[in-house]
Amino acid sequence: MIWYYLSFADPDRPPGRRWLGAVVVEGDDMKAAIKRSWGLGINPGGEVVGLEVEHLPPVEYRNRLLTKADLHAAGKQWVMII
């Protein structure tokens, strides 16, 4: 299994409100990771882009919907996991 960082956005929302959140979940591929986010109830909808996470993400970032505040609070630690 591979960890994926998935970022969700809705292009139909007003500028500054398009980003819906991000998740870090496991999957055999990105499609499976997206399905897992739905199964966990943490997929906010919209369009998704993603990338493989190169290092094991810290537990506090796994399998939950992350907000901008979460990413800002993570600071340099977040940069290290993606």
pLDDT tens track for 69-78: 888 887 766 5
pTM: 0.89
**Residue whose structure tokens are 């398009």:** 18
Q: CA–CA distance from 70 to each of 17, 28, 55, 64 (Å)?
A: 16, 26, 18, 11
- Is residue 43 predicted with pLDDT exceeding 90? yes
Amino acid at 50: G
List the domain boundaries for the chain: 2-81
**Whole-number pLDDT of residue 62:** 95
| Lowest pLDDT segment from 26-30, 52-56, 74-78 | 74-78
Three-state DSSP class for residue 35: helix
Three-state DSSP class for residue 71: helix
